[in-house]
Amino acid sequence: MALPKKKPNNNNNNRPRRGRREPLHKINQFISAPLVRVVGENVEPTVLPISEALELARRLELDLVEISPNIDPPVCKIVDYNKFLYEQKKKMKEQKSNAINNEIKEIRFGPNTDEHDVDFKLKHATKFLGEGAKVRAYVFFKGRTIVFKERGEELLMRFANKLIDDGVAKLESPPKQEGKKMIILLVPNKKK
């Protein structure tokens, strides 16, 4: 009779443990302060010993959640904890969607760029500004073309003025020379 094969021991102590993460807030019996300021719906804001605050939460069939632990006494809210977390996630998602888009798109010109090419790049800039991105337009001077600085500045201002006249953009910084580049920065025009 053959003995059954022994299964290898897969209990590797170096693996991270799967389990519950620590909650984001201290709730109920995990609140350690002796006195707490209690707030919530249908609750008169007041300072209570932790035992009385827990009893009040139990009577209302809700949780006592520590929302401001760094003040004295800590502020605890009587609320349904799962509903509280859901509302916080919803607020965070809304804030993230309303966040300002800080993306900067670049449009490059040469000092001898043709008018047709400028019009083509205007369409791209209008699209970028419509999406909420900033536009950095620059003229790159290669080799001896650095002698055409005036032409580069004129090209950038003509480009910016067309976008400003269309009501698409505002000029954030006028043309300035940085090494071999002359740069302007345009931001979307917020319509009220």
Could you tell me the two tokens for 131? Answer: 């999406």
Indicate the pLDDT class of residue 192, thresholds 50, 70 and 90: very low
- Domains, the chain, ordered by start: 28-94 (3.10.20.80), 104-188 (3.30.110.10)
Q: Is 91 exposed, middle or buried (0-12, 13-18, 19+ CB in 10 A)?
A: exposed
Q: What is the pLDDT of residues 24-79, one digit of tens each?
A: 778 888 888 889 899 888 888 888 898 988 888 888 888 888 888 888 888 988 88
Pairing of strands 63-68, 104-109: unpaired
Residue pLDDT, tens place only, 100-148: 657 888 999 888 888 888 889 999 999 988 888 889 999 998 888 777 7
77 touches 117 (CB < 8 A)? no
User: Is the pLDDT score of 3 beyond 70?
Assistant: no
pLDDT reported for residue 14: 45
CA dist., res. 132 & res. 129, Å (int): 5
Question: Does residue 87 have a pLDDT over 70?
Answer: yes
Written as six digits, the tokens of 94 are: 């809304």
User: What's the pLDDT at 7?
Assistant: 52
Query: Which residues neighbour 110 within 8 Å (Cβ) at sequence distance 6 or greater?
Result: 139, 140, 142, 145
Q: Sorting pLDDT into bands at 50, 70 and 90, what band is 149?
A: confident
Beta-carbon contacts of residue 90 (< 8 Å; ≥ 6 apart): none
Instruction: Give me the pLDDT at residue 9, please.
Output: 52
